[in-house]
Structure 1
Amino acid sequence: MVEQKSGRKFHFLGVLLGVAVDNLGTLVSTAVFGSLYFGNSPVSEQDVNALYSNTGLILLFLVIGLFWSFLGGYVAARVAKRAEYFNAACIGVIGAAIGFDSMLRNTGVPLWYELVGFFAIVPVSLLGGYLALKRNKTRL
């Protein structure tokens, strides 16, 4: 008897783990770098505005956040072992939705940072899915 492959694309656990990796990784990394930047002193609104005007530091945060999105896309695709691009793209779409919400709330983050993150997150997540697909195929 020939086994029929499931037509389902979405893998709940894969996407859940990918979102957790992306969001928790970004949160922890940002907290670590933020605490290194600010030290143990209380943080005022003026300090946060100074942080947002530091282009080098905010670019570092962007790269770190996109790295975690890449890793989240990889994890989602690797765990799913099916429809790797679709599951990795879910990570990017969820991240873009979170970024869009941040843009609407006007959190003080520079618009260029928000836009670069918004447009880069899906391709970066898909890149993670691509790597997982390649690794899954080499295991076969």
Structure 2
Amino acid sequence: MKSNDIQIIAILLGFVVNLVGTYLTSGLLILVYFNAKGISLDNSKDVIYSDNFILSLLIFSGLAWSMLGGYICARTAKKSHYFNAATIGIIGIAMSSYSYVMGDPSPSWYKTIALTCEIPITLLGVKLAMAKNSGHQ
């Protein structure tokens, strides 16, 4: 691996898409869910971390954005697609791990899925991008 194999712009673009998409979608899902259930946002943390349905929606949407981040990274990077996209997954795992160490009250099943699926899902995005690239050549 050479230093010029690292595609900083592709990594940043994929990471920003992942992060911004995850946060926006999470916020919207929580607002819609709470509104539909008639739940006040004042006690949102208590409700979110005790409701497996909303947690499942949040983990699914977050992983979908991770896959899209990997896809965009691979489509943007000129080489070393898997390495560059895996970097996004590693950054995501580092951020999640820091959050968990600092006392994130998420249930252990949520943390386990987030930590174990981040890199494989991101790499699935790369695989989809590579399949699309090979289909257009």
TM-score (normalised: structure 2) = 0.89
Number of residue pairs matched by the alignment:
134
**Distance (whole Å) between structure 2 residues aligned to residue 30 and residue 7 of structure 1:** 35
Q: Does 1:35 align with 2:4?
A: no
SS of 1:118 mapped into structure 2: helix
Partner of 1:17: 13
Partner of 1:3: none
Q: Does 1:52 align with 2:62?
A: no
Contact 1:26–1:68, Cα closer than 8 Å, also in 2: yes
Higher relative helix content:
2
Instruction: Show CA shifts across 1:114-140 (max 9, x none).
Output: 121011000000010111122222333
Instruction: Show CA shifts across 1:38-66 (max 9, x none).
Output: 3397523x432122111111011100000
Q: Does 1:112 align with 2:109?
A: yes
Partner of 1:67: 64
Query: Aligned AA for 1:79?
Result: T
Query: Aligned AA for 1:71?
Result: L
- Seen in structure 2, the aligned counterparts of structure 1 residues 82 and 120 have a Cα distance that, compared at 3 Å, is same
Contact 1:30–1:61, Cα closer than 8 Å, also in 2: yes
Partner of 1:76: 73
Partner of 1:93: 90
Cα drift, residue 7 of structure 1: 7.1
**Distance (whole Å) between structure 2 residues aligned to residue 100 and residue 75 of structure 1:** 24
Instruction: Show CA shifts across 1:2-42 (max 9, x none).
Output: xxxx8732101100000000000000001111111233975
TM-score (normalised: structure 1) = 0.87
- Give the percent of matched residue pairs that are identical in Structure 1 and Structure 2: 33
Which ranges of structure 1 fall in alignment gaps of 5 or more residues? Answer: 1-5
- Seen in structure 2, the aligned counterparts of structure 1 residues 138 and 17 have a Cα distance that, compared at 3 Å, is same
**Distance (whole Å) between structure 2 residues aligned to residue 18 and residue 99 of structure 1:** 17
